[in-house]
Amino acid sequence: MKYLPLHLDFSGRRCVVIGGGALAERRARQLLEAGARVDLVALEAGRELRSLIASRGGDVALRGYMPGDVAAGYALAVAATDDDETNRRVAAEAARNRVPVNVAGEAARGDVIFPATVERAPLTISVASAAASPTLSRLLGARIEALVPAAYGELAKLVGKFRARAKEKIPDVRERAQFWENMLQGAVAENVFSGNAAEAEAQLSRALESPSEHSAGEVYLIGAGPGDPDLLTLRALRLLQQADVVLYDRLVSPEILEKLGGELIHVGKRPADHTVAQPDINQMLSDYARAGKRVARLKGGDPFIFGRGGEEIAHLAGEGIPFQVIPGITAASGCACYAGIPLTHRDHAQSVRFVTGQLRDGGVDLDWPSLVAPMQTLVFYMSLRGLPLICENLQKAGMDASTPAALIEKGTTPRQKVHAGTLGDMGNLTERTEVRAPTIFIVGAVVSLRPELGWFEAAKNTG
């Protein structure tokens, strides 16, 4: 490691920035933000920056660099002119006077680099690449920026407030570290992230009253989306990574399961084969949470759309177990997007209906006339077995046999297939071709846009 990452307290320290471009200005502002006293040597500088520098006791010299500008005693020099030769002279003077220097564009020539930073004050995350590629550092910083919840700073402040009390209540260093680990990955942190700081503070306070009894158990009811792991939300990913145990359904794709740590338990259900009965799943959720575990209940798509998520959390609510629900991209939305079928479109559909196609007593029990409306898209979930009946009943209720329709198989995954046709010819699809669940059935004029808008399979074939 050539560069040692340190976070230095620059408040009140004198720094000099040589250069008048955008980068020099950014560095000057960064140093000012850190509380430094900045001297600026630049051919020109905006009035606002000049007065900011002056207000902190710094000097601005509106001219080019002159030997003597980097006098001994500066805590840092920044060489950020647009002339490499000048920057080198600045760096040489800094070296002679033992002033640490950062050289813009040629970081390796200096001895200080400015990392990419993600600010969650009082927390700062910095990324640097030992001057190999500032762009790579910046891109990685942007990824971290997206992954770290905005309220992490609030969490850090809360911890700071309780640190002394925790030290007094839990003198053992290891026990204390374990306590903080539980708090920072459990309900306290989640309350802060949801904007419920007062509740988080109360929880932390209660936990510190009897730290040994405290159980951080809670349940996250998470929507996994339709299959592509990239469709998980950032929140879903974060909670899955911190879960001790994950109870997952059959429809959660293998690509998503590969990403998970913790104990994985399959509780999936097939239409006719309930691997684990619903009351048993409910019981497992509350038992694990009572044992102090962070339990992720992972369901395909969105947990509140044909997912029985409501029943599971009603049980938890009844038992007084803390939970939160994380929405997922529902199959209708994910599969339609990946198949190039906009569910609504100004010229073709003003509304969309999500309908269950599940068979009941050998039939699909729906109010068919209400489904036949102009400018409407219908999306049938759980419709593979009932496909012939759905096509037949829609036509009997008055829908034209030529209405475009598509059955999407294993949507959003590398195994996605789209069987497109019309209402009149989709009824016997499974007699003509092999189709594998899960599938979703879309009916409506919007399906006709697919030849023009389909992108996913085309990308797969060329990729």
- The binder of ligand SAM chosen from 19, 268, 301, 427 (CB under 6 A): 301
Separation CA 401–CA 227 (nearest Å)? 31
Residue 134 · residue 116 · CB < 8 Å: yes
Query: Does 58 interact with ligand SAM (rule: CB under 6 A)?
Result: no
- The binder of ligand SAM chosen from 19, 226, 268, 340 (CB under 6 A): 226
- The binder of ligand SAM chosen from 440, 442, 443, 446 (CB under 6 A): 440
Tell me the site size for ligand SAM, rule CB under 6 A.
22
Residue spans of alpha helices (H) in 291-386: 309-319, 331-339, 368-371
Instruction: Between 189 and 224, name the residue whose CB sits nearer to ligand SAM.
Output: 224
Query: Does 229 interact with ligand SAM (rule: CB under 6 A)?
Result: no
Query: Does 444 interact with ligand SAM (rule: CB under 6 A)?
Result: no
The CB-based long-range contact list for 237-240 (8 Å cut-off, 24+ gap) reads 237/147, 238/147, 238/149, 239/190, 239/294, 239/296, 239/326, 240/296, 240/298
Q: Specify the stretch interacting with ligand SAM by CB under 6 A; choose among 113-121, 124-132, 393-401, 437-445.
A: 437-445
Instruction: Between 128 and 337, name the residue whose CB sits nearer to ligand SAM.
Output: 337
Q: Specify the stretch interacting with ligand SAM by CB under 6 A; choose among 89-97, 199-207, 359-367, 404-412.
A: 404-412
Query: Does 207 interact with ligand SAM (rule: CB under 6 A)?
Result: no
Q: Specify the stretch interacting with ligand SAM by CB under 6 A; choose among 12-20, 70-78, 279-287, 405-413.
A: 405-413
Strand spans (E) along 155-244: 218-223
Taking the complex as a whole, the smallest distance from the CB of residue 417 to ligand SAM amounts, in Å, to 10
Separation CA 436–CA 439 (nearest Å)? 7
Taking the complex as a whole, the smallest distance from the CB of residue 227 to ligand SAM amounts, in Å, to 4
Separation CA 60–CA 49 (nearest Å)? 10
User: Is 269 a known active-site residue?
Assistant: yes
Separation CA 281–CA 260 (nearest Å)? 20
Query: Does 390 interact with ligand SAM (rule: CB under 6 A)?
Result: no
Query: Does 252 interact with ligand SAM (rule: CB under 6 A)?
Result: no
Question: Token pair for residue 451?
Answer: 């030849």
Separation CA 193–CA 197 (nearest Å)? 8
- The binder of ligand SAM chosen from 295, 305, 339, 387 (CB under 6 A): 305
Contacts with 434 (C-beta within 8 Å, 6 or more apart), sequence order: none
Catalytic residue among 249, 299, 302, 410: 249
Query: Does 251 interact with ligand SAM (rule: CB under 6 A)?
Result: yes
Question: Token pair for residue 421?
Answer: 């046709």
User: Is 249 a known active-site residue?
Assistant: yes
Q: Specify the stretch interacting with ligand SAM by CB under 6 A; choose among 38-46, 189-197, 297-305, 310-318.
A: 297-305
User: How many Cα atoms are found within 13 Å in the side-chain-facing hemisphere of 341?
Assistant: 32
- The dihedrals phi and psi of 331, each to the nearest 5 degrees, come to -55, -40
Q: Which residues are registered as beta bridge partners of 197?
A: none
Query: Does 248 interact with ligand SAM (rule: CB under 6 A)?
Result: no
Residue 303 · residue 328 · CB < 8 Å: yes
Number of H helices, E strands in the chain: 19, 19
Instruction: Between 134 and 438, name the residue whose CB sits nearer to ligand SAM.
Output: 438
Instruction: Kindly report the number of other CB atoms within 10 A of residue 177's CB atom.
Output: 11
Instruction: Kindly report the number of other CB atoms within 10 A of residue 315's CB atom.
Output: 19
Query: Does 410 interact with ligand SAM (rule: CB under 6 A)?
Result: yes
- The binder of ligand SAM chosen from 381, 442, 443, 446 (CB under 6 A): 381
Tell me the per-residue interface mask from 318 to 357 with ligand SAM, x by CB under 6 A, - otherwise.
Answer: ------------xx---x----------------------
Q: Which residues bind ligand SAM (CB under 6 A)?
A: 226-227, 251, 299-302, 305-307, 330-331, 335, 381-382, 408, 410-412, 438-440
Q: Which residues are catalytic?
A: 249, 269
